[in-house]
Chains A and B, each alone.
Chain A
Amino acid sequence: MMGSENNHIQESSREQMEIPILNEDDGSNDDVSTSKSYSNYCSAMTTLSSSSEHPLLTPPSIATNPASSDPLLFPSHDPFPESPSYADVIISPLEDSPTVSSDGDGGSDDVHRKLRVSPRSQLEGSEYLRITVSDPKKEVESSNSFVPGGNSYVTYLITTNTNIHEYRGSDFRVRRRFRDVIMLADRLSEGYKGYFVPIRPDKSVMESQVMQKQEFVEQRRVALEKYLRRLVMHPVIKKSNELKEFLTVEGRMPSSARTDVASNLLDGMMALPKQLLGESRSVIESQDAVEPAKGRRDLLSLFKELKQSVVHDWGRSRPPVEEEDKELLEKKEKLHYLEQQLTNASKQAESLVKAQEDMGDTMGELGLAFIKLTKFENDHAILNTQRVRAADMKNVATAAVKASRLYRALNAQTVKHLDTLHEYMGLILSVHSAFSDRSSALSTIQTLTSELSSLHSRAAKHETTSSKNFGGDNSRIHKLEELKESIRVTEDAKRRAIRDYEQIKDNNRSEMKRLDSERQADFVNMLKGFVTNQVLFLFKAYC
């Protein structure tokens, strides 16, 4: 009978190797949460990290003990004769992948990085910039407080370790608050128009009912770290002075009230050109301070421009001037479709993770129920047959509990890999922003062009009327001079605007190329990682 068979079954071969991927995860659950608000992934991930307190989750002992291998699974032979060797094959490419930290690599993320063979890191060779965000501390704003008790805020310690020459040093530690990050983000988006600048973390107001302050701070810390690391991975932005300043200059960063107002207004209205409310800056070279194109603009023009850009971006009603814009439209269409599919895939990925999690939970509960039953039968056993049954039950229970633990590890990994979907959704927002930089630059040109033509026609009118009147009407001559001056200035501005526009278009193009090639690599890695983990998990749990 089944009972006696059990005693004769040899413990089957089980893999003894340490598989770092599935082992490492217990400590890095906090890496999983993110504060991206445009996906519900957030909720799945915070559940995961908070559920690490589950009683079943003790650090998985990979070195399996005799009780945990299930003789019932291997009645008499090993159906996976190739499993050790196959698993070896899977593991080696993962371990051989460049451990040279790609830019922005942090220690706790290296499992993720291993599977993410980023072509960028290989190009850059030995340059690195490692950032860590830690140690949130509450500080009080002592000056300017009308509120008794003062205004309190949280600062984070930002540690940078780099060998980039321009940084003139290898280690930096500064304290920054979230407002500083907002300012950095704003400066970057102004200074790098046309580039796919990573979107900064949300300012989401803390809902005290939903979340404890500690959780919120932790979420924010993780989001900041991710954000900074993304900045550093961007080949152009990582060289920026604004970033360098942010990472290295000690002491408080100056707060710009105007920027605050700007960013408050702009939050949620990402398509609006930022240059309307602040100073417009040109692209890459920040030394090359371009004179504000709208220096003498009146309010009416501002609104005209606003309207044009809105129409241009959201309505697409203006026929594009150049042929290239057709290309732009096509790209936008494709991107829109990609965005939709990413959203959909992300949603299904979240369901998948939830289903895996539920499966793991139920298996664990089943295992526990059987363990209790086993103990019960053993305590009350009068007949030997009861003890045999109890032993059978215990084997099943142990196997179930083991599988349950591994499901947790599998899930943490699945989340990490499928997070790529997430990343790209964020990236697409950057692309939208870069495209709207272009649109607003084009709109500026068009506004300036129409300005010019109206100035010209006014000038022409003046000339005809003044030729009708005899002699020097000083005021009229003066007016004409003014008009001519305006025309010159506007023509200058238009030239500059055209230059800006062309530059932005170039940036768009090069960034699209970069996006396309990186996306290839990232998605392949994502799929590989996902599939590999499934295979590893299944072997671990059931062999």
Chain B
Amino acid sequence: MNTLERSGSGSVVQSPRSPSPQAPYLTVSVTDPAKMGNGVQAYISYKVITKTNFPEYQGPEKIVIRRYSDFVWLRDRLFEKYKGIFIPPLPEKSTVEKFRFSAEFIEMRRQALDVFINRIASHHELQQSEDLRKFLLEDEQMMERARSQETGIFKKPADFMQIFKDVQSKVSDVVLGKEKPVEESNPEYEKQKNYIFQLEDHLAEAQKHAYRLVKRHRELGQSLSDFGKAVKLLGNCEGNSLGKAFSELGAKSEMLSIKLQREAHHLLMNFEEPLKDYVRAVQSIKATIAERANAFRLHCELAETIKFKEIDLNKLRLMRSEKLAEAEREYEQLKADVEESKRKFETIVKLMNEEIARFQEQKTVDMGVAFHELAKGQAHQAKSIAEAWRSLLPKLEACS
């Protein structure tokens, strides 16, 4: 749908003079959810279809079968490798067991996964990722092996990340504060962080009400249906034209109930889901914020360490110890580490700045579409309901 259109192609601009063929593109679609397995082990698999002209992909089209945990694997890998970039968020795991296989949930998840993979495919850096290639091309067994291999490694550095991986949880300032006594003193950055944390609260509230709005549509639909039935029964007590009027009104009411259910679904997929996506995106940003803090802290620690190392080194020099050579080697290593950590940190900072701008742009577009869908859906519904009721009036006039 429009999500595909939105996040379609690659981003390289062709110069008019170059004789090269069409622009590079990489589009993915996630389709055909199918239930696999039985009982507790049961899960949903999706068909992932890749269409591309990237040279590394060896072919214009490839179809693979993936499941939710494969997507999680991809997200985790990208998060590790591309610090500073806001990795697109994944839809949540389902907490309620019986909801897990409902058609609506599956459709919502499919849509969200499709958006997820396409955002990666259209991000100028992420689309180059080797892990993405693996994900899109490897057969299922390879994928499974890759998945089970990697889960062990991410225990330690991901300790911190665990909190952010469960996107339902809210990260408090307290947690961050406890973990990093050393913080950047960058007022601009502070403002940005502040913005992100508050934004999450506001969005969560808006999303809560959007969810309720969907529910209300369902409830109103149900009560219109019940009311219609009751009115029809009442019509049975009356004769002739009045009885007919009652039963037509009842029938109309039941029909409108269906419209409301439809609108509820429309709102769910096109208004509430985008809001939820917004919330998840913000949570993903928070994970990057934590990464940046980590990188900063690491760099500071190394910088501290190297100071002491210098002192030690000088001591050893004075003493002309045999340990000097080794100490010098260690010192050089440490210097390299310090440089590396500084580079890493600065990369994150630079990337984040770009990403914030991209995020804001993207969100304005996404929200614009979502609001449009809301307004369109409501207006359309109102019009068709009004016309339905309206058609009854001449009949009612005839009764009186």
Residues of A bordering B, CB below 8 Å: 1-3, 70, 72-73, 79-80, 86, 90, 117, 334, 337-338, 341-342, 344-345, 347-349, 351-352, 354-356, 358-359, 362-363, 365-366, 369-370, 372-373, 376, 380, 383, 385-386, 388-389, 392-393, 395-396, 399, 403, 519-521, 523-525, 527-528, 531-532, 534-535, 538-539, 541-543
Which residues of chain B are near A338, meaning CB under 8 Å? 234, 237
Comparing B96-104, B143-151, B338-346, B356-364, the segment that makes contact with chain A is: B356-364
Task: Establish whether residues B382 and A538, one from each chain, have CB atoms under 8 Å apart when the complex forms.
Answer: yes
Which residues of chain A are near B363, meaning CB under 8 Å? 389
Comparing B171-179, B307-315, B371-379, the segment that makes contact with chain A is: B371-379
Task: Establish whether residues A524 and B242, one from each chain, have CB atoms under 8 Å apart when the complex forms.
Answer: yes
Task: Establish whether residues A385 and B230, one from each chain, have CB atoms under 8 Å apart when the complex forms.
Answer: no
Which residues of chain A are near B195, meaning CB under 8 Å? 380
Q: How many A-B residue pairs have CB under 8 A?
A: 185
Option from B209, B379, B400 in Cβ contact (under 8 Å) with A365: B209
Task: Establish whether residues A341 and B230, one from each chain, have CB atoms under 8 Å apart when the complex forms.
Answer: yes
B210's closest neighbor in chain A, by CB? A366
Which residues of chain A are near B400, meaning CB under 8 Å? 117, 521, 524-525, 528
Kindly list the 3 A-B residue pairs having the minimum CB-CB distance in the complex, ordered from nearest: A2-B368, A542-B382, A366-B209
Task: Establish whether residues B238 and A349, one from each chain, have CB atoms under 8 Å apart when the complex forms.
Answer: no
A310 CB → nearest B CB, Å: 28
**Bound Cα distance from A338 to B246, whole angstroms:** 13
B219 CB → nearest A CB, Å: 5
Q: Can you name 13 A-B residue pairings with CB atoms under 8 Å?
A: A70-B375, A86-B390, A337-B237, A341-B236, A345-B231, A348-B226, A358-B219, A365-B212, A366-B212, A376-B199, A523-B246, A528-B400, A543-B379
For the complex, would chain A's binding face be called helix, strand, loop or mixed by DSSP majority?
A: helix
Residue among B191, B223, B364, B378 with the most chain A CB within 10 A?
B364
Option from B222, B357, B393 in Cβ contact (under 8 Å) with A383: B357
**Bound Cα distance from A376 to B200, whole angstroms:** 11
**Bound Cα distance from A359 to B360, whole angstroms:** 31
B285 CB → nearest A CB, Å: 14
Option from B206, B223, B233, B379 in Cβ contact (under 8 Å) with A542: B379
Quick check: is B251 within 8 A (CB to CB) of the other chain? no
Which residues of chain B from 358 to 400 have a CB within 8 Å of any chain A CB?
Answer: 360-361, 363-365, 367-369, 371-372, 374-376, 378-379, 382-383, 385-386, 389-390, 392-393, 396-397, 399-400
Residues of B bordering A, CB below 8 Å: 191, 195, 198-199, 202-203, 205-206, 208-210, 212-213, 215-217, 219-220, 222-224, 226-227, 229-231, 233-234, 236-238, 242, 245-246, 249, 357, 360-361, 363-365, 367-369, 371-372, 374-376, 378-379, 382-383, 385-386, 389-390, 392-393, 396-397, 399-400
Which residues of chain B are near A376, meaning CB under 8 Å? 198-199, 202
Which residues of chain B are near A369, meaning CB under 8 Å? 202, 205-206, 208-209
**Bound Cα distance from A90 to B392, whole angstroms:** 13
Extra inter-chain contacts (17) besides given A344-B233, A359-B216, A527-B392, CB under 8 Å: A1-B364, A3-B368, A73-B376, A338-B234, A341-B237, A345-B227, A345-B231, A348-B226, A362-B209, A362-B213, A362-B215, A366-B206, A373-B206, A389-B360, A520-B399, A534-B389, A538-B385
Task: Establish whether residues A351 and B226, one from each chain, have CB atoms under 8 Å apart when the complex forms.
Answer: yes
**Bound Cα distance from A349 to B212, whole angstroms:** 22
Which residues of chain B are near A542, meaning CB under 8 Å? 378-379, 382-383
Task: Establish whether residues A79 and B383, one from each chain, have CB atoms under 8 Å apart when the complex forms.
Answer: yes
Option from A72, A347, A383, A521 in Cβ contact (under 8 Å) with B371: A72
**Bound Cα distance from A373 to B195, whole angstroms:** 12
Task: Establish whether residues B249 and A531, one from each chain, have CB atoms under 8 Å apart when the complex forms.
Answer: yes
Answer whether A362 and B216 are a contact pair too, CB < 8 Å, given A341-B234, A392-B367.
yes
A51 CB → nearest B CB, Å: 16
B300 CB → nearest A CB, Å: 27
A174 CB → nearest B CB, Å: 38
Which residues of chain B are near A90, meaning CB under 8 Å? 393
Answer whether A355 and B219 are a contact pair too, CB < 8 Å, given A348-B230, A524-B400.
yes
Which residues of chain A are near B205, meaning CB under 8 Å? 369, 372
Which residues of chain B are near A527, meaning CB under 8 Å? 245-246, 249, 392, 396
B231's closest neighbor in chain A, by CB? A345
Which residues of chain A are near B393, meaning CB under 8 Å? 90, 528, 531-532, 535
Which residues of chain B are near A388, meaning CB under 8 Å? 364
Answer whether A399 and B375 are a contact pair too, CB < 8 Å, given A3-B364, A370-B206.
yes
B382's closest neighbor in chain A, by CB? A542
Which residues of chain B are near A524, meaning CB under 8 Å? 242, 245, 396, 399-400
**Bound Cα distance from A519 to B235, whole angstroms:** 12
Task: Establish whether residues A73 and B390, one from each chain, have CB atoms under 8 Å apart when the complex forms.
Answer: no
Which residues of chain B are near A341, meaning CB under 8 Å? 230, 233-234, 236-237
Task: Establish whether residues A2 and B389, one from each chain, have CB atoms under 8 Å apart when the complex forms.
Answer: no
A271 CB → nearest B CB, Å: 23
B398 CB → nearest A CB, Å: 10
**Bound Cα distance from A523 to B213, whole angstroms:** 33
